[in-house]
Structure formats: structure tokens, C-alpha cells
Chains A and B, each alone.
Chain A
Amino acid sequence: MKWGVVRFPGSLDDGDALHALADVMGQDARILWHKDESLGGVECIVLPGGFSYGDYLRTGAIARFSPIMKSVAKFAADGGLVIGTCNGFQILCEAHLLPGALTRNRSLSFVCERVWLRVENASTPFTRATKLGDVLRLPIKHGEGLYIAPEDELRQMEERGQVTLRYVDADGRESDAANPNGSMRAIAGVANERFNVFGLMPHPEHAVEPMLGGTDGLKIFQSIAGSAR
């Protein structure tokens, strides 16, 4: 499968995503430069973590106007697979490719730690290699990961199965203490209505090698690789 990882100015986990896909998984992955409009024929686009444009104004607000984002929007409209992690999730929300928004953590502090996530929908192209209710261990590292959407929209998203990952404790139970940023309904990852665009605050690309703290992130990428059109 051909993957493209978009590099915005201020992207930080672009190299990590490339390392996970190319070095660890042996996939055909390349960097896509934000000023280019060509997507180079890739089958999945990764919007990586980081602080694109310094996250000035609002996280992701400026990156969404990069030339490549026009192509990404068209690619998504044509049903192409797009995954955004952390800053990538924030950009997707700002670009209205995903519902909702991400704001300052409840604690007002940046938080870097490993969290547990429960799979709420295992039939999306991004979670197909997991089972409903599986608990994944992935790292988060962000200052603005509190997921917000209007209540009625949240209700519809839940009904349609768009809420894909939720923060839980080690036993898979929701609790206030297990919600690291105060996200509404403990939402950690959401898909769009067509289930071809997915955003999540945790970093699957940072959980692909046993020596670096686990391999649960592989399940996300393997799901995508298995969903190639």
C-alpha cells in the first residue's frame, strides 16, 4: 500500500509516522510537502502530529489552508483514506473533514503519558484489525486534546458509530480519572460519516516497537493496510 505523510512547517511526528510505516512495517511510504498539490498517487494520507505553524491562533487553523489540503479534501471526498493523529486530528477538524473541535486540556497543561483506549467501532477501515471492546495502550502528548462537539451532533455521531476510540482505564472502564484531557464523552478518536477519514489524539506511530513501549499502534496501521481499495 502507498502512504503519504504530509509535512507541514512545524510537523514533528512526520518522521515517526514514516519510520513506523516504512522501517517497521515495510510499507511504501513517503513524505508529501505541504506546498505541493500532488498527492503522488498514494492510497492513504497521514496528517502527523506536531505544532503546524506553531499552533498559533488555534491548533491546526493555519495548516488547513496549506495548498496540499485542497487535494486532501478532494481525496477524502472521493473516498480516499485519511488519518490524522494529534495535530493531524486538529487540522482535520479545522478543515471540517471531521466534526467537532479540540481545545485546551482540562488541566491546562500539556500531558505526555500512555493511556488506555477502548475500541468502540471495530468495523471502520482504521480499526478493522481490532475487536469491539479491545483495550489499546497508546501514548498521548498534547496540550489541546479536549474533544468538543454540540450535544445533538455527539448523539448522532454515537448512533452512527463515528465515535471510534474512548479513553478508559486499564480494565476498559470509563472514568473521570481515566480521561486525560476532559474530552466530552471521553472521546479520543472519531471518524466521519463515510468512515474514510479518521482522527485521534493518541499516537499509534509511537507504539510500534516493543523496545519503545508496545505495539498496539500497529493495529491501527494494519487495519488501514488491510482496507486498501
Chain B
Amino acid sequence: MSAHPVSLAGEPGVDVEQARAFGLAPDEYRKIQEIIGRTPTYTELGVFSVMWSEHCSYKSSRRHLRTLPSKSELVVQGPGENAGAIDVGDGWAAVFKIESHNHPSFVEPYQGAATGVGGILRDIFTMGARPVASMNSLKFGSFAHPRTRFLLGGVVGGIGGYGNCVGVPTVAGEVMFDEAYNANILVNAFCLGLVRKGEMMSAKARGVGNPVLYVGSATGRDGIHGASMASAEFDKESEAKRPAVQVGDPFTEKLLIEACLEAGKTGAIVAIQDMGAAGLTSSSSEMPSHGGLGIELDLDQVPLREANLTPYEILLSESQERMLIVAERGREAELQAVFEKWDLHAVVIGRITDDQRWRARWHGQVVADIPIGALADNAPLYDRPAAPPKIQPSAKTSAIKHPETSKALRALLDSPNVASKKWVYRQYDSIVQSNTVLGPGSDAAVIRIKNSRRAMALKVDSNPRACALDPYLGAVGTVCEAARNVACAGAWPVGITNCLNYGNPERPEVMWQFIRGVEGLRDASIAFGAPVVSGNVSFYNETEGHAIPPTPTIAVLGVMIDVARHVTQFFKNPGDAIAIVRTAAPSLAASEYSALFGIDGGSLRAIDLAREAALVEGLVEGSEQGLIRSAHDIAEGGLAVALAEACFNPRAILGAEVELGRAGNADAVDFFGEGASTVILSMAPTDLARVEKLFAGRGLEFAVVGKVIDDPRLKIGSLEEDVSELQRIYEDAIPGRLRGDD
């Protein structure tokens, strides 16, 4: 039996106050004392505080997340590994996940966003999958807010700076501007990888005596637990020790991708995990714990960027581009040779043990010795109280004064939320790897699988305005929208990953929003038969008591049987019939129109999930049969905006002539209403009857409303607009605003 670990000279004393400074509640501190049977050392307290943090332990969300469906016949890997995986056919598994990097991006937008991209990439390639596509969902404050331009430029620059340099195309995304995010921006990064089924790597350690290897960048003081630094005990040296912003090094990441994938092929890797949040601590405790084992670390072997890091700092550092690997005993040299080839060094820093303890040595002393399960798998779980807000969010009650239709259309196209995001996505390499069949600028991205006819469609969506009105319906609607977009491209929605962004879960109304959101996600996931295989929760998105609106960000993966049948949102041929198909009538609730003109949009309608699923089926079958020439989902800005967007074909702009007839009265609700799941289709007139049967046969409302015309004019009833003029407004909205201050 080794002696108890000791605190080191110069370290602050450990008591309930120090625990509080680390963000641990008094109850949690007592539980730690109980578990280890003594007062923890300073290092141990730090380790517990990060592992029991909301971010690592999911202590407020876990019991609710367990209710999400995570199985289907296509699921290869559900929650519990670094990312989830779905069988996409021809022997391939798609590995994907979305994660938030909200707080760091607000502090330092370029590095915050860059390291967010880096982190999600590592979650994918640690599964043995080559990252093949990235997406992101960004929420900024209002465009007029003084900090928005700085944050937008920084975040977009960081995503591009990192993503472009590692050779993973950024193929889709969403960007929203709303004053609700003035003090809390959201940066959610998604990555998709491909791996041969059966070649997946794991984060579950096995094999007592197996060596633990550290690979990648050296450890510095970046991102060490900020809470402790704010405490009063620290002297004037604390300024120099303040947690540094994490800086990303995409070049090292690229080397890690290639080296780890190559090392995986040797079969000498037992388990691998990124040193992400809580760095060495989380990876070194989670891998053995998931395998029912223990670990002994020799911190003196950890490569350091600067001398004099304490064990506490080494264990809690969040320096980027570092991996921890459990190797087959005796095959260390084989792995080290692969990493050397890529100019990376793999260093043995510990061994797997059978005693289920997490033990760290430094300078000949044991500095931490903790039952491993207490860190990784048995952190406290909370069933936090939840209650609907006392005052239901009341929509604005201004008199309804609708602007003139043409003016409204132009104003909507000029709204940064509706307008072209080309200024953003042209800063991203969207074509590297030669798989991007459909990149940014259409509804969903389409990524082909080489040497296969199959392809994958990807879409990320969120709808915080709807979630603010009703967190359940908003979440259901968000999943429906993402699934529908994937179906518009011609793919079956088969899997979901989510990033749940909310305020402080210790407030009952936030917890209620969260629970309702999870329930909505659950019900919609069941309806589409698309399980939730991975995800991330980001709480505490609030400033001075003001939380962001509930923002569940949903990414859907779709599978397409034949990539040649993929469908884009753009009208193709003059003379084609235009039809709209929908599950319900539109409304102005939570619409861009209501937000822009300060109009009370009313409340959200119920959503009939059976009809939503039927719409998805009709869309995919229609494209598989080659009947649909274009399909565009109606989103922000409603029908009129969507029709205009369908005319903006990058090959040659076209026009459309539409009469709403039985599909509406041509009022603001018809033109600009959202909320209903509505898709604009175009097809050869000869295929009309077959397309109608696909939808009407499923009980959906289907109406032929017009035709595509050669003349680039958009005519909807009495409204008539020049499409090039609309496109100019649409394309110049964001660059124009950015030029404004020059």
C-alpha cells in the first residue's frame, strides 16, 4: 500500500472554501472526502473539480439525455465513445458529432473557433475515421451591436484558418444574428468522418500492463481551470499564471490525423482519446474506467512547453493537439516509428493497472490516488428542479401594420439572417478531398463516397425563436427542418447529433426549457427513425441573468442510394411545373418577417410528426425515381424568399410565375409565413401526376402553383420583381454592412 498522496510545498490549503473556488458545492466536497476517506490534495481537488464540472460530467443533463433513442439497425456506435457512428452502406460507417465552443469564442473569437474545429476533428479521427466534412452553426448578436463585426470576422477567420489548413472541407452551416446573442455567441462545430466498418478505434482501455503513450504538442498552461485563478489566495504572480487562451496549431493537427490513422492500421492501438476538456485528466481516467481498469501516470515524462509546471497544471492543462493512446504492450516502438515518420513524438507516460485507481506520480511522490470510477463514470448526477417560466414569453403587441409586399420581400432578402452567406463560406475550403457534390449555398450539403454510388447529405439547423415561444415544439420543428432539408437533397435521414445550448440549469425555468427540448428531440427522432448517436450540452450561456433563447442545434445525416439522383434547390428548366407540398398552413409565429417588422406572429402550431415523416418519404422517393428537378425547403423569409432563392441558379438565373390559388390568399402569411413544413418543388410537366401521387397519396397538401420561366422575373400574383435585382440585394446584404464602417 503506497503512502497517501501529499500536497506540495507552496500549494494553497484544501478546504470547503478552496473547493468552492474551484466550482465544487459543499455537498460535492464532502462526497469527495467520503470517497477517498481523507482530505484531498490540492491536485486531487483540482482533478475532481474539472471531472465533476457540468462540462465533463453532464451532471444536470445526463438523466434526461438517457431518454433519447440511440438505436436502430444502422447504428454502429451510439453515445459513449468519442463520437457516434451510422452504417451508410458499402462497408462504410459515418462517424459524426457536433460540439460547442461558445465561451472560448466569445473571449477570443479566432482561437476559440479554431480550437473548436480542432477538438471536434479529434473526436472523429480518434474513432479511426478520416474526417471528410465539417459544418458549423453560428449565432451572433445583432449586426448593429458594436462587437458583432469583430466576433464574426474572428470566428469565421478561425474556422477557415484551422479547417482550411487541415484539409477537411467546410461544406455547410448556418449563421444567425439576433440581439439575444449580444452577450453570448454560439459556435457549434460539426465533423463527419468515414471509416471501414470493423476498423473503428475505441476509447475503452484493456490489458493490464499496457503502456500509455502521449502524442502531439507539448503541454503548456493554456486553458487551465479559470475558477481557481480568480480566488483571493493568489499573490501578484497570479497574473503571469492566468489561464492563457488556447491556441490552435492546425499543422500539428494535420500530422496527428495522418499519423493516428496510420498508427491505427498497425493494430497496436488498444484505445485512443483526445486530451480535450480537462486534458490529461479526463482522457487518462475515462479510458481505463470504461474498461474497468486503473492507471498509473508518471507526470515527469509528460512533454512540457515551459519548465516548472506543477502536477496540478500538467493534469488540468487544455493545450491543444494532444492525444493519449493505450498501446499493446511490446508494440510501443512500432507506434513510435509511425509517429516519428510524421515528425511527432510518442512518449510512454504511464501503464494500465488492475486496481481501478487513478494514480499520478511526480518527482518521486504520489500526488493523486483516487478510485477511478469516482472521476469518470460516477460523478454526481442531479435531477434539477424544472418549472415553466411564470410569465409565458409574450410576443410583441404592436399594432399589425404590414409593409407593402415588394418592400417586405426586399427587406427580408437584405436581412443578414436571410441573405446569402457567401461572404462567410467563400473563406472556407469546401472542395478539398474531391467529394463535395453540393457545397455551401444550397439546402443540404452532399458528400459522395468514392468508389460507391452512395452519398451522404448533411444539414445543421436551429430555430431559437420558435424554441423561445415553445421549447418543445421548437425542438421538434428544428429536427423536422434538418431532416426535411436532407430529404430535399434526396437522402434518407438516418442519424442525428445535437448540441444543446441553454442558460444556467440551476434556474428551474432553464431546466424546464432543456427538458422540453430533449423531449422534442426524442419524439422527432423516433418519428424519423433517426437515432441520436452523439451530442454535447452547453449550459451557462448567460450573462448577468439573461440567458440565450433555448437553442438546440440539430445536425442530421442522410444517406443517398445513388448520388447521381441528388437534387438541388435551384430551378433547372424553363417550362417545369412548380408545386408546393406542405404538412400544414404557414404562420408568422417565430418568423423572420415578424422579427424584422415587429409584428406579433402569434403562437406556434402543433406539429403532426406522422405527416412530417410522410413528407420526408415522398421527397426521397421522388428523387430516387428521378421525378424531382429541384426541391427547396421554405425557411426564414417564407415562400416569397424561397421562390427567389430557387431562381438564383448559379449556372443561369431563371424566373418563376406563380399563382397561389387554393394554396393561399396571397397575404403576408402566405408570402412570408414560416413554421409549416413546406417545400417548393419543380418537375417536368409530364411527371406532375406521379409527383402528386407521391404526396397526395400520403395525405399531404400538394398544389401546382406555377411554372419556371426563362425570363428572370419573379411573379407571384400581382407581385413582380426582377430576379437579378433581388439577387443583388441578397448577395450584397452582408458585404454591404461590413463595408459600411470602412
Answer yes or no: A and B touching, Cβ < 8 Å: yes
Which one of A38-46, A90-98, A105-113 is at the B interface?
A105-113
A19 to B450, CA, bound (A): 10
A50 touches B428 (CB 8 A): no
Closest to A16 in B: B434
What 1/0 flags go to A196-222 for Cβ under 8 Å of B? 000000010110010111000000000
Docked complex Cα distance between A53 and B252 (Å): 9
Q: Is the CB of B432 within 8 A of A13?
A: yes
B436→A56 contact, CB < 8 A: no
Chain A, 176-208, contact with B by CB distance < 8 Å: what is the 0/1 string? Answer: 000000000000000000000000000101100
Contact A112 B251, CB 8 Å, known A50-B167, A51-B164: no
Does B229 make an interface contact (CB < 8 A)? Answer: no
Residue B429 at the chain A interface, CB threshold 8 Å:
yes
Which residues of chain A come closer than 8 Å to B436, judged between CB atoms?
212
Residues of B near A49 (CB, < 8 A) are 432
A80 cross-chain contacts in B, Cβ below 8 A: none
Q: Which of chain B's residues have a CB closer than 8 A to the CB of A112?
A: 164, 425-431
- A158 contacts chain B at the CB level, 8 A cutoff: no
C-alpha spacing A213/B255, complex, angstroms: 29
In B122-173, the 8 Å CB interface with A consists of 157, 160-161, 164-167
B254 within 8 A of A: yes
- Judge whether B251 and A56 touch: CB under 8 Å: yes
Q: Does A141 contact B (CB under 8 A)?
A: yes
* Residue-wise interface mask of B (409-447) relative to A, using a CB-CB cutoff of 8 A (1 in contact, 0 not): 000000000000000011111111111110000000000
Query: Chain B contacts of A50 at CB under 8 A?
Result: 167
Q: Is the CB of A109 within 8 A of B427?
A: yes
Counting chain B residues whose Cβ lies within 8 A of the other chain, the interface size class is 20 to 34
B342 at the interface (CB under 8 A from A): yes
Report Cα–Cα, A28/B427, bound state, in Å: 34
Q: Are B164 and A110 in contact (CB under 8 A)?
A: yes
CB-CB < 8 A to A203: which residues of B? 431
149-199 of chain B: CB within 8 A of chain A: 157, 160-161, 164-167
Interface of A is mostly: mixed
Verify A19–B434 contact, CB threshold 8 A.
yes
Distance of B330 from chain A, by nearest CB (Å)? 27
Of A9, A12, A19, A110, which one neighbours B255 at CB under 8 angstroms? A9
Q: In the complex, A200→B433 CA distance in Å?
A: 19
B431 near A141: Cβ-Cβ < 8 Å? yes
Report A-chain residues with C-beta under 8 Å of the C-beta of B431.
112, 139, 141, 203, 206, 212-213
**Are B429's CB and A55's CB within 8 A?**
no
Q: A226 within 8 Å of B by Cβ?
A: no
Interface residues of B in 554-597 (CB under 8 A from A): 563-564
User: B722 within 8 Å of A by Cβ?
Assistant: no
Chain A residues, Cβ within 8 Å of B249: 54
Instruction: Across the interface, name the chain A residue whose C-beta is closest to B448.
Output: A211
Tell me how far the C-beta of B585 lies from the nearest C-beta in chain A, rounded to whole angstroms: 38
Flag if A206 contacts B250 (CB, 8 Å).
no
Interface residues of B in 42-100 (CB under 8 A from A): none
Q: Are A12 and B251 in contact (CB under 8 A)?
A: no
Q: Is B506 an interface residue (CB 8 A)?
A: no
Chain A residues positioned under 8 Å from B166 (CB to CB): 12
Provide the residues of chain A in CB contact with B434, threshold 8 Å: 15-16, 19-20, 205-206, 209, 212
Instruction: Say yes or no: is A161 at the interface (Cβ < 8 Å to chain B).
Output: no
Chain B residues with Cβ below 8 Å from A51 are 164-165, 250-251, 254
Nearest residue, chain A, Cβ from B563: A211
Instruction: Indicate if B355 sits at the interface (CB-CB under 8 A).
Output: no
Structural contact, B165 and A54, CB atoms closer than 8 A: yes
Contact string, A33-77, partner B, CB cutoff 8 A, digits 1/0? Answer: 000000000000000011101111000000000000000000000
Docked complex: A105-146 residues within 8 A CB-CB of B = 109-113, 139, 141, 143
The reply on A172 being an interface residue by CB < 8 A is: no
Residue of A nearest to B254 (CB): A10
Contact between chains at B167 and A12 (CB < 8 Å): yes
The docked-state distance in angstroms from the alpha carbon of A9 to that of B253 is 11
Whether B432 lies near A16 (C-beta < 8 A) is yes
Question: How close is B439's CB to chain A, nearest CB, in angstroms?
Answer: 9
A9 and B343 contacting across the interface, CB-CB below 8 Å: yes
Residues of B within 8 A of A113 (CB): 426
The complex places the Cα of A206 from the Cα of B434 at a distance, in Å, of 7
Are B429 and A141 neighbours in the complex by a CB distance under 8 Å? Answer: yes
A residues less than 8 Å from B164 (CB atoms): 51, 110, 112, 141, 143
What residue in chain B is nearest A17 (Cβ atoms)? Answer: B434
Identity of the chain A residue whose Cβ is nearest the Cβ of B249 in the assembled complex? A54
Give every chain B residue within 8 A of A211 (Cβ-Cβ): 437, 448, 563-564
Query: CA of A206 to CA of B437 in the docked complex: distance in angstroms?
Result: 12
Kindly report which residue of chain B lies nearest to residue A113, judged by CB atoms.
B426
Residues of A within 8 A of B429 (CB): 12, 110, 112, 141
Q: Which of A10, A15, A23, A109 contacts B251 (CB 8 A)?
A: A10
Determine the chain B residues whose CB is within 8 A of the CB of A205 once the complex forms: 434
Pair A9/B165 contact, Cβ less than 8 Å: no
Q: For A13, what are the chain B residues with a Cβ–Cβ distance below 8 Å?
A: 167, 432
Contact A111 B432 (CB under 8 A): no
* A96 CA / B250 CA spacing, docked (Å): 27
CB <8 Å contact, A9 and B342: yes
Max chain A C-beta neighbours (<10 A), residue from B164, B425, B564: B164
Residues of B within 8 A of A143 (CB): 164
* Bound form: Cα–Cα A199–B503 in Å: 52
B residues near A141, Cβ cutoff 8 Å: 164, 429, 431-432
Contact residue among B161, B167, B427 (Cβ-Cβ distance under 8 Å from A111)? B427
Instruction: Determine the distance from Cα of A141 to Cα of B430 in the docked complex, in whole angstroms.
Output: 9
Q: Which of B252, B428, B433 contacts A15 (CB 8 A)?
A: B433
Q: How far is the CB of A178 from chain B (nearest CB, A)?
A: 15
Decide yes or no: A16 and B433 within 8 Å by CB, A10-B165, A54-B251, A110-B160 being known contacts.
yes
Q: Give the residue among B342, B434, B435, B437 with the most A Cβ atoms within 10 A.
A: B434
Chain B residues with Cβ below 8 Å from A139 are 431
- Expressed in whole angstroms, the Cα–Cα distance for A59 and B431 within the complex equals 20
Alpha-carbon separation in the docked complex, A78 to B172 (Å): 46
Cα-based distance from A109 to B164 in the complex (angstroms): 12
Q: A109 CA to B425 CA in the complex, in Å?
A: 11
Contact, CB under 8 Å: A212 / B437? yes
A15 to B478 CA separation, bound complex (whole angstroms): 36
In Å, the complex CA distance between A113 and B430 comes to: 9
A15 CA / B249 CA spacing, docked (Å): 22
A55 to B250, CA, bound (A): 11
Tell me which residues from 336 to 369 in chain B have a Cβ below 8 Å from any Cβ of chain A. Answer: 342-343
18 A-B residue pairings within 8 Å (CB atoms):
A9-B251, A12-B165, A12-B254, A15-B434, A19-B434, A20-B434, A51-B165, A54-B165, A109-B157, A110-B428, A111-B426, A112-B426, A143-B164, A206-B432, A209-B434, A212-B435, A212-B436, A213-B431
Residues of chain B having any CB pair with chain A under 8 Å: 157, 160-161, 164-167, 249-252, 254-255, 342-343, 425-437, 448, 450, 563-564
Given contacts A23-B450, A143-B164, A206-B434, 16 further A-B contacts (CB under 8 A): A9-B251, A12-B254, A13-B432, A15-B433, A50-B167, A51-B250, A54-B250, A54-B252, A56-B251, A109-B157, A110-B427, A112-B430, A209-B434, A211-B437, A211-B448, A211-B564
